[in-house]
A and B are shown apart, each in its own frame.
Chain A
């Protein structure tokens, strides 16, 4: 047995040597150079703007660097400080609330709209209108909403008239501000999700839907028992992207609330990272918060992947 294995190994090694010594075709070498030429700049940029900053950020999290001067290694102290900081904990809670509100409502609304638009006439017009906020700068979107959400603005006036209450001050009331942020976040990402779901719906085999219809299934049954399971891979992809995106909420909060709202009521983790880093010039602490955000995002994403077997149906 051992002898055979040895002989086989020797044979394989000889074959490998033959392949290695064989002259490489000129076209292959040429392709290799062209390949390197095209991949090189991309790789360089990736290393310069993603990998190096990531590594530097990770290293900074273990130092007390204040923007200038020497670095001092302080171990896990920054992580401990952040985890014990009530303001950071508030930022984590706010971020989780934004994710918990915007992801299910945003995606649910997008599925409903995509289904409604599936067979409608002038679909491209509706899609264009829905997609407009996606291609508009989030800063511009936030500035417009900032005006709309003023107490004397149309939304507060309408709410005041309908419910007979004082016009709500969405952006200055700590109890309302997160709802305002969530509403704007949902609105601005709705178009993209609708387009993705619409594409998902169009990949569903019409014969399967037709077969269900022949078997007596109504539109609601078809939606829940046929379309939703077949749409689940798209839903899974959108959920993963939406959760990551909601964890990174910054620009909407920053512009809408001119900071992070009264009493840090709309402080998100990314705003906290910015505030600690650039306003308080504590880059070590800021990097530690960024690492915690990274870990949180990774854990939630991994959990989503772990659970996909239960909820995601892949057509064989």
Chain B
């Protein structure tokens, strides 16, 4: 009798525990919240400043869309974000809307994790496929189907300090030359040679796909052909461009910024030890930290002809989870996030990127500073994302960057680099 009583008590305890557990689990999910509201969950990575802007956007969105409740799931670092998103997608617990990095989207497209966006882009009143620069879609576009929309972008540009150049005896201004169509590779090479002879690093580049591909593009070389084959090793112009680039790194005229201690590239730039800082619009934040803002300006990549040629533009995409039960609300959120108004809200007042949408009012957030900021918009319109065949294989871009780094550091010859790059492209693309 007593035993039965105990058994009943244990069963009751277990039931209460299970109920409590299910209540907790129920609390964690999205869905329809009270009052007929639909809850849309979304996620991205970012530093505290960026995450604060995203939250600000959410507040604004919920004000204008009272029937949608937005739950933001921020992640601090990009690599952690990818690991988390991958796990959530494979366990079917991913948020309704999420950012996807340019190096990951190809995999998500090929494994059907993303909702095709053509319907949204065709019917939307505020966005359409044509409003975004075609080169920005990269691996987010498969055939004629769009799976992601560029949230904003960052063209790699040549930031420089006019005083640094002047102190080294350089009298010409790169941005002015670019405005006149005279910003040629030969002028640039002569400038970096002068800087180098004055003990100043000529230019600093980050080691990722944009550096070699943008450089090769200025020579008019080819990297991938129309059918997605890696043709860089077979194109004499590309090989010549890569040889020049490798030489400039090896003789320390150029610096690989990734190999410097954390924060040193910023310090070098602000203390006149670096001539050209090749990176995105977030450079403005560095300049504000310790520079005289009027001393700085920005120029596009120098080209063989002096005209602005296509160069690398880093972007990320906003995509909709194919398994979301809230497609309509997710689509509403996506449109609001990437349309001109959304981008303006996110990027105005010290934003660190360039709008990906071609829109006069959104472009205004860029045009205030520096003097030749319009080049950032021009580079966005002409530029290209990482090539789809490369971006479609997670990790391939990084593996190739490691080969380029060995080349820049003189550990391997150009021929060895080309052999290794071809092998990587062939091996990885066949997966």
A-side interface residues toward B, CB under 8 Å? Answer: 26, 29-30, 33-34, 36-37, 66-69, 146, 150-152, 169, 171-172, 258, 262-264, 274-275, 278-281
Contact = CB atoms under 8 A, between A and B. Distances in A.
Contacts of B179: none
B360 interface: no
B90 A68 contact: yes
Which 5 interchain pairs have the tightest Cβ spacing? A280-B395, A68-B111, A278-B83, A281-B394, A150-B261
Nearest to B5: A30
Given A67-B111, A263-B402, A26 B3 contact: yes
Contact of A279 (B6, B111, B398, B406): B398
Contacts of B10: 33-34, 36-37
26 contacts: A26-B2, A26-B3, A29-B3, A30-B3, A36-B10, A66-B107, A67-B90, A67-B107, A68-B90, A68-B112, A68-B113, A69-B111, A146-B262, A150-B261, A151-B261, A171-B261, A172-B259, A262-B405, A263-B405, A278-B82, A278-B83, A278-B86, A279-B83, A279-B394, A279-B398, A281-B395
Contacts of B6: 30, 33-34
B52 interface: no
B87 to A, nearest CB: 8
B7 A33 contact: yes
Interface string B202-223: 0000000000000000000000
Contacts of A279: 79, 82-83, 394-395, 398
A37 B14 contact: yes
Contacts of B14: 37
Given A30-B6, A263-B402, A280-B395, A258 B262 contact: yes
Nearest to B108: A68
Contacts of A262: 259, 405
A66 B113 CA distance: 13
Interface of B: 2-3, 6-7, 10, 13-14, 79, 82-83, 86, 89-90, 107, 111-113, 259-262, 394-395, 398, 402, 405-406, 411, 431
A281 B107 contact: yes
Contact of B261 (A34, A67, A172): A172
Contacts of A152: 261
A235 B406 CA distance: 43
Contacts of B395: 275, 279-281
Please classify the interface of chain B as helix (H, G, I), strand (E, B), loop, or mixed, using the class held by over half of its residues. helix
Contacts of A29: 3
B85 to A, nearest CB: 10
A37 B261 contact: no
B319 to A, nearest CB: 14
A68 B89 CA distance: 8
B398 A263 contact: no
Nearest to B86: A67
Contacts of A36: 10
Contacts of B90: 67-68
Contact of B394 (A69, A264, A280): A280
Contacts of A171: 261
A239 B111 CA distance: 45
A99 B14 CA distance: 45
A263 B402 CA distance: 7
Given A262-B405, A281-B394, 15 more contacts: A26-B2, A30-B2, A33-B3, A34-B6, A34-B10, A67-B86, A67-B89, A67-B111, A152-B261, A262-B259, A263-B405, A279-B79, A279-B395, A280-B395, A281-B395
Candidate in A169, A275, A278 with the most chain B CB atoms within 10 angstroms: A278
A93 B262 CA distance: 27
B113 A169 contact: no
A148 to B, nearest CB: 12
Nearest to A68: B111
Nearest to A170: B261
Contacts of A26: 2-3
A160 to B, nearest CB: 14
A112 to B, nearest CB: 33
Nearest to B89: A68
B406 A263 contact: yes
A152 B267 CA distance: 12
B379 to A, nearest CB: 28
A36 B402 CA distance: 55
Contacts of A33: 3, 6-7, 10
Contacts of B411: 263
A303 B402 CA distance: 38
